Amino acid sequence: MAIRFKQRSGHSGLLSRLSLPIFVLIVTFIALFATAASYILIRVQNDHTLKMAEQSMKFVYRNIEYQFDTMNNVAAFFLSNQSIENLLVNTYQEPYEAVSDLYTLETNLQNLSLLSLLNDFGSGNVAQQSYVVSVALEPGSGLYAMAAEHFSPITGIFKNNDLQNQKWFQSLSRGERQNIWWSQRTESDTAMVFSARKKTSLKDGRNIGTLIVGADTRSIRGIFDNARLEEGYHLLLDEADKVIYSERYDFLDDAGALPYVRSLKDSKGSIVTRIDGENHRVMFETLQNGWKLLAVVPESHFSQYTFAISLFGAVTAAVALIIAGFWLRRIVVRVTVPITRLVTAIQRPEVVEFKEPLPYQNTGIYEIDELNQQFASMLVTIHGLIEKSFTEEIERRQLQLELLHAQINPHFLYNTLDLINCRAIMTGDQETSRIVRSLANVFRYGLNRGQTWITLEEEIKQVEAYLHIQKMMMDDLQVEFQIPKELLSTTIVHLILQPLAENAIKHGFADGRTGCRITISARLELEGLVLRVDDNGQGCEADQMNHMLLKQPAREVGEAGEAGTGYGTLNVHRRIQLHSGETYGLRYVKVHEGTSVEVVLPYSRQQKTGRKDAAND
């Protein structure tokens, strides 16, 4: 063994000369891989950071929109409520008569103001914030005389005299907009957001008053506190570009002078602009009331990990190159290449099918050459085992078939049936005699002395005998044969039609229907002899059955067959293919009623060699 090893080691020069190009290939691969990995990591990290900023923006937008929708819903409830309508349009002879209705309306406003605007956003300084709901009455309302003289942005009922000079009130009165939004500080220096709508009578359409819904901006601050940006800031601007809320600017600061605010033309989008000498990404979206929400984030925030990832990728690539250079000759060249050649050789169809021996390799590495030789020896052993297993399986099936034929002794069976037939005739039981004769014919033609081929005429007689017995059990069963006389001498694989007829009776007529009919016909086509069995039973899916016939493995056919179908259509299909070829067999045909199955067979008027007439036994 030692001498053999030394002799083979002298052939390692070629592998040494291959080291340099392979090393260059590995270096290129590692460099490309490190570059691609670093690029992907940078893109993923940057995209993740951008997505987080966008999600913060969407979170704030959805929740602010929810706050404003809630204020609109409060207003819509007030404007459409019939009870409140009645309180506002009632008339009174004396002012004091309206005290009860005024108190009731005041209670309704108080109840509306108790609805939580914050919806528990986790802001510690505004654990629970309520609305301010007030109504400024027109002289046309019956409660006008009892309303407070001067308007104050608190929940209550007021006269509209103090609001006549307000721009928002004038715009609302002129009908320029149905819903006006604005913000202002109250006398207690509270930053508030307001929404106002005109209240018109549901009966005659006259103006009754103005509904004003206000909310403390601390509720909005609670939303922003739960969606803080790691870098940058938010801006919530009204239609005049006044600041409603921002981490950087104060309430009602004029942001319209900012260049990036003036450049926002669309309703939503994202732009990159320079702010304070640095590029910033400005993401913006317009709320339904016309106000704008902005998120301003420095571009450097999105690429903050670029340098670290690039450095890590470069260091990793350098370490990988050092390790690859050290182990390349000992592992890649001297081991991988011979094994790859061995794998390539055993994947060749000629080698796998044992048509060619495994190619010999002299790699200069004792273990690899020994592996190659042992694998070649193993292939030879496997080939012998497969042939032995195949031979034993054929012998086993042949013995099982011989045992089955031995168990079914035709002479004993026919003699027993003849004895039963004679006894039935002697007792005058003609019906039993007919059944016994038909059963004898079924066995006689079915067994066929173990021969594979039979004439079409004898096959018809066998299925006629079987259907004769079935007709005695099914009074309404009708059977029709449409077989041209010139085709009766054709030889076919025996026991083809009976399983199909049996399948039609057991499955097609299983629902107990009446008027059952089976038609068996034969015709010649270019592809050969076509036998067809039609029934008017409950039918089946032709495509599904054809798919089953195509994918059924040959080894499974005949072992179990189909439940409740005797030999089974799969058995019939496979027996035809085994004796006639893969182009022949069964096929299901789509019909409007019942089931139609065709048997395609080769056409030959000469009888197969070795066939004996089972009917003469």
d(CA 160, CA 199): 12
Q: How far apart are CA 597 and CA 585, in angstroms?
A: 10
Question: pLDDT at position 154, please?
Answer: 85
Q: What percent of the chain has pLDDT over 70?
A: 73
Q: Are 358 and 348 in contact (CB under 8 A)?
A: no
d(CA 195, CA 204): 24
pLDDT of residue 32: 77
pLDDT of residue 337: 65
Burial of 552 (0-12, 13-18, 19+ CB in 10 A): middle
pLDDT class of 529 with cuts at 50, 70, 90? very high
pLDDT digits (tens, 9 = 90+) for 432-446: 777 777 777 666 665
**By percentage, how much of the chain surpasses pLDDT 90?**
13
**364 has pLDDT over 70:** no
- For the cut 50, the answer to whether the pLDDT of residue 595 exceeds it is yes
Place of tokens 């038609």: 519
Q: Which tokens go with 525?
A: 């086509």
Residue 396 confidence (pLDDT) = 65
pLDDT at position 474 over 50: yes
What pLDDT is stored for residue 8 in this prediction?
42
Mean pLDDT of 214-234: 84
Q: Which residue has the higher pLDDT, 277 or 616?
A: 277
Task: State mean pLDDT over 310-330.
Answer: 73
Mean pLDDT of the chain: 77
Mean pLDDT, range 387-407, rounded to an integer = 64
Structure confidence at residue 511 as a pLDDT band (50, 70, 90) = confident
Long-range contacts of the stretch 358-363 (C-beta < 8 A, 24+): 362/8, 362/11, 363/8, 363/11, 363/15, 363/337, 363/338
Q: In degrees, to the nearest 5, what angle opens at C-alpha 240 toward C-alphas 59 and 272?
A: 55
pLDDT at 393: 73
The pLDDT of residue 278 is 84
Highest mean pLDDT among 118-132, 186-200, 358-372, 402-416: 186-200
Phi, psi of 288 (to 5 degrees): -65, -25
Q: What is the mean pLDDT of residues 81-88?
A: 86
Residue 521 has pLDDT above 70, yes or no: yes
Among 133-137, 316-320, 527-531, which stretch is predicted with the lowest mean pLDDT?
316-320
Residues 527-535 have a mean pLDDT of: 94
pLDDT at position 19: 62
Provide the pLDDT for residue 525.
Answer: 92
- Lowest-confidence region among 273-277, 481-485, 525-529: 273-277
Report residue 275's pLDDT band, with 50, 70 and 90 as the boundaries.
confident
pLDDT of residue 310: 73
pLDDT of residue 557: 42
Q: What is the pLDDT of residue 343?
A: 66
Cβ-based burial of 454 (10 A; exposed 0-12, middle 13-18, buried ≥19):
buried
Name the residue with higher pLDDT: 358 or 176: 176
Looking at the predicted structure, is the pLDDT value of residue 559 above 80? no
How wide is the angle at C-alpha 234 spanned by C-alphas 233 and 236, nearest 5°? 155
- pLDDT for the residue numbered 143: 87
Phi then psi for 520, rounded to 5 degrees?
-120, 125
User: 8: which 2 tokens?
Assistant: 């083979």
**Is pLDDT of 271 > 70?**
yes
pLDDT in tens, 49-78: 777 777 888 888 898 888 888 888 888 888
Strand partners, 292: 237, 286
- pLDDT tier at 489 (50, 70, 90 boundaries)? very high
